[in-house]
Amino acid sequence: MMMKHVPFYYDITQTEKPWQQKEQSLPAIFQLWEEEKRELAPLFAARQANEAKEGIVRGISYFLCALHWLNERAVSNVYEWEKEVQSLPLRPLNVVDRLSFIFVRPTLHHSFVQLDELFTELMKLFYKQMAQQKRD
């Protein structure tokens, strides 16, 4: 996926609209996060948090894309992300507070753990929505 190299690539260019094919695009983002997490875990374990900052920022961009795409929207305004995220009907509990913490302290191990938990909750929301759509 191009977004591994250019954050918010699809949302900016809109050449492809992955939020319209979330059944394929969201599992791909979840896979990107799993790869990123495998690289970040040893850095935090070795207390090399400053080297992890870039990966955490990339993870935040993956999360924001996945969250918006789950709601069938492109990321349109990262500067006012709190208002954007608050307006989304499908979102993890206390996501704005939790993301705010991660944004302010991206090099803390707790931020890494919190981001991973947000991804886990987002995956559950996604798979629950997919199951409901199959039943309908």
30: in domain: yes
Stated pTM of the model: 0.93
3: in domain: no
2: in domain: no
6: in domain: no
Q: Please tell me the predicted confidence (pLDDT) of residue 1.
A: 65
Tokens of 18: 């992955």
Is the distance from CB of 88 to CB of 68 less than 8 angstroms?
yes
Is the distance from CB of 89 to CB of 98 less than 8 angstroms?
no
Is the distance from CB of 130 to CB of 122 less than 8 angstroms?
no
131: in domain: yes
5: in domain: no
Terminal Cα-to-Cα distance of the chain (whole angstroms)? 31
Domain that holds residue 83: 20-135
Label residue 38 by pLDDT band (50, 70, 90): very high
Number of compact structural domains in the chain: 1
7: in domain: no
pLDDT tens digit string along 49-85? 999 999 999 999 999 999 999 999 999 988 899 999 9
119: in domain: yes
Q: Please tell me the predicted confidence (pLDDT) of residue 54.
A: 94
In single-letter form, the type of residue at position 96 comes to V
For the chain, what is the mean pLDDT?
93
